Amino acid sequence: MDQPEILTPPPAQVVRVRGFVKQYKQHIAVSGIDLEIHKGEIYGLIGPDGAGKSSLMKAIAGVLTYESGTVEVFETMIDTERAAERVKQRLGFLPQGLGLNLYPDLSVDENIDFFARLRLVPEHELAERKARLLAMTRLDKFRARAMKNLSGGMKQKLGLICTLIHEPELAILDEPTTGVDPVSRRDFWAILAELLQERGMTVLVSTAYMDEAERFHRLSFLSSGKVLASGTPAEVHALVPGSMVTFEATPQLEAISRLKTGCTQVEALGPVLRVFTEDTNPVSAAQAITSYLGDIEPQQLHVDKLDLEDVFVALLLREADQPPPSPELPTASVSSVNHGLAIEAKELIRDFGTFRAVDRVSFQVKPGEIFGLLGANGAGKTTVIKMLNGILPPTGGEGWVAGEDMKTAGGAIKERIGYMSQAFSLYLDLTVEENIRLFAGIYGLDRRATNERFAWIVSMAGLQGYESSLTVRLPMGVRQRLALGCALVHQPRVLFLDEPTSGVDPIGRRHFWDILSRLAREEGVAILITTHYMSEAEHGDHLALMYAGRIVAEGSPAAMKAQVEREAGQLLEVVTDQPGLALRQLERAGFAGIALFGAQLHLLSRDPAQDEVRIRESLASEGLHVLGAAIRPLSLEDVFVHRVMALERRDRETTKGAAA
C-alpha cells in the first residue's frame, strides 16, 4: 500500500510585493518588481547606487508612497499612512548612511535609551537588551562616548542597536555595511545570525558589496529598477554555467588584448588574470584560454567556480548585449625621481592634541605600481594621504611625492599629483565637457593642451556621447570615470584615490580598474588607493594594512595570504543542516574564530582533516549533521580580519597586564 504523501506547508510570508513601481517626476526608479520574503530568513537586495533598492525598502517600511502595484507586510496592505502605522511597531528600519538615524551629541547610552522609549520598550527589559546588544557589537566600552566621536563602523553598529532595541519581527536595513571596515562587517553578520537564531527575526538587507551575496538565504539582483535574477545563491549560480580561469601571463597587456577577442570577462588583479569561460569542464576551460593566448604561455593556471559577482556581471552583459569598452591610452614618458620612487613615506607621525592618528608610518611606491592602503575606520589612512598631499603638516617624519619634499614643495606637489576624493570633487551643474575644461584651466593648461587632454579623457574614460550631459544626470560609474579623467587632466605622475568605486556597479568597477591597470602599466603612473572592497584590493601590486595608526602588515596579496596560512592554517568551509545551532555548538567545543558565512561556517584550521573529524563528532553529539566540508582559498578579507582581531587581542592582553 502506498504511503500517503506528506505535504510541507509553505513558508509563512512576511512581505509580499507585486508589480511595484516608484517614479520620481519623469524618472522611473523601480519598474514592476515582484518579491516575497519568508519568516526567519535574511533576504538580500543587491545592486549599485540607483538600482532601486532604497525606494523599495522605504515603501516596505511604510515611509514612501508609490505609483502602482501592491506592498503587503504581515498580511497588511501598506497603501496609506494609517495602514503603515498598524505594522510600525513590528518593524525596525535602518536608513542608508553612517549614523543618519542617530543624534550626534548624545552618547551611545543616551541614543539607545531615546530609541527604547520612543519604541515603548519596558524599563525592566531595557537594561538586559541593551547589555546584550552592546556586548554583541563590542560597544560596551564606549557607552559614554558621543555618537559624533565614533568611527564609521561603530556608528553603524550603534544604529543597528537602536533599530533592534524593541526586538522587531522584521528588520529592514538599507546598506548597513557600506563604508564599514571588514571587521565591523563581520561583526554585523554575526549579530544578525545570532538574532535570527535566538529571536526568529526576519531581515531584509540591501548591499552594493557583491561579496556579501553568498551570505543571504535568498536574494534579488537589481539593476536600473528591475530584477535581473532572484533565488537562493545556488539557484542564481545555476543561471550562468561556466568557469573562472586564473593565471599569470607575460606580457600582460598583450595577453589581455588577445583574450578580449573572444572572452566577455577579462580582469587583471595585479599580476594575475581572471577570465570567464562558458566551459564547465576544467580541462576544456583551460584549453579554451590557452588557444586565445597563442604563443603566450600561462603560468600557475587554476580553474575555479564562478562567484556571484561573476554571475551578476554575466547577467548584466547579457542584458546589455555588448561587452564594456576597453580604454585606449596614448604612450607617455615618465621620469623616475627620488631614487626611482614615486612616493616615499618615512616615519610619518601625526598627532591631534594627545591623540596619535599616525604612528611612524613608512612605505614606498614605485612608478607604475598600484599600492593599496587598507585599514579599519579610523586607522589613519586618510591622514597619511593628506600629509603626503601637503594638506596636513606632519608632526614628525618625512615624505616625498613625485620627487618633491612634502614639507617644502607647496604647490609643486599639487601640480604633479592627481587626487580623487570619495566625494568626486565634480561640479554637478556643469556638463562633462565643462568640468574637464574647468579642471584644465585650474591646472594652467593652454587651449591646445586642453583640447588634446579633453579628447584623451573622453577616449580613455569611455565618455563618448556624454560630452554635453549634465554631470548630475550621469550614471554613477560614468561620473566616477569623469572624476578620474579630471584628476588626470594635467598628466600627473602620481594618483591618489580615496574609496573611488563606492556604489558603482560591477561592470563599471571592472571598467574603472581596467583603466587604472593600463595607466600603471602603460603610462607608468603610480597609484595609491584606499578601498573598503576587499575583493578590489586584489588589484594591488603591493598592500599595506594599517591598524591604530601603524602599518602592521605589508606585501603582495598572494604573500599576505600565504603568511596567514603559515600562521593560522587554511580556510575550512563547513556546510551543516542548521548553521546557527552548529556555530554555537562549535564555539562551546573550543573552535576559535569560527564565523557564519551565509549557510556555511568558515574557520582557519592548521589540520583541516582532523578538524573536520572533530567537527562532525561535536555536531553529531547534538543531533546536527555535516553536509559537506572543503578547503577554500583565503580572501583578503580573511587576512584583514585575522590580522586586526589578533592585534585587538594583543592590545587587550597588554592593557590587562598593565592594570595588574
Query: What pLDDT digit, counting tens, does each position of 478-525 carry?
Result: 888 898 889 889 988 899 988 787 667 777 778 888 888 888 888 889
Q: Report the pLDDT value the prediction gives residue 112, as an integer from 0 to 100.
A: 95
Fold of 241-305: Alpha-Beta Plaits (3.30.70)
pLDDT at 6 over 50: no
Q: Which one is predicted more confidently, 15 or 381?
A: 15
DSSP state of 214: G
DSSP 101-122: TS-TTSBHHHHHHHHHHHTT--
* Closest to 320 (Cα-Cα) out of 396, 363, 265, 384: 265
Average pLDDT over residues 601-619: 93
Q: How far apart are CA 238 and CA 240, in angstroms?
A: 5
Q: Which one is predicted more confidently, 409 or 394?
A: 394
Query: What are the grid coordinates assigned to 89, written together?
Result: 511597531
Q: How far apart are CA 59 and CA 82, in angstroms?
A: 14
Q: Report the pLDDT value the prediction gives residue 325, as an integer from 0 to 100.
A: 53
Fold of 343-555: Rossmann fold (3.40.50)
Q: What percent of the chain has pLDDT over 70?
A: 92
Query: What are the grid coordinates assigned to 137, written together?
Result: 557589537
Q: How confident is the model at residue 3 (pLDDT cuts 50, 70, 90)?
A: very low
Q: What angle do CA 379, 269, 641 make, to 5 degrees?
A: 35
Q: Report the pLDDT value the prediction gives residue 100, as an integer from 0 to 100.
A: 75
552-589 pLDDT, tens digit per residue, is 889 999 899 999 999 999 999 999 888 878 888 898 89
Fold of 562-659: Alpha-Beta Plaits (3.30.70)
Output the average pLDDT for the chain: 86
Half-sphere exposure of 453 (CA within 13 A, CB side): 26
The structure's pTM equals 0.81
CATH 1.10.10.10, applies to 13-235: no
Is-contact 397 347, C-beta < 8 A? yes
Residue boundaries of the structural domains of the chain: 13-235, 241-305, 343-555, 562-659
Q: How far apart are CA 574 and CA 306, in angstroms?
A: 19
pLDDT at 321 over 60: no
627-641 pLDDT, tens digit per residue, is 999 998 888 888 888
Is-contact 256 311, C-beta < 8 A? no
Q: Examine domains 241-305 and 562-659 and report if their fold is the same.
A: yes
Q: Report the pLDDT value the prediction gives residue 179, as an integer from 0 to 100.
A: 66
Q: How far apart are CA 454 and CA 463, in angstroms?
A: 10
Is-contact 418 490, C-beta < 8 A? yes
Q: Which one is predicted more confidently, 318 or 378?
A: 318
Q: Which one is predicted more confidently, 425 or 345?
A: 345
Q: How far apart are CA 178 and CA 172, in angstroms?
A: 15
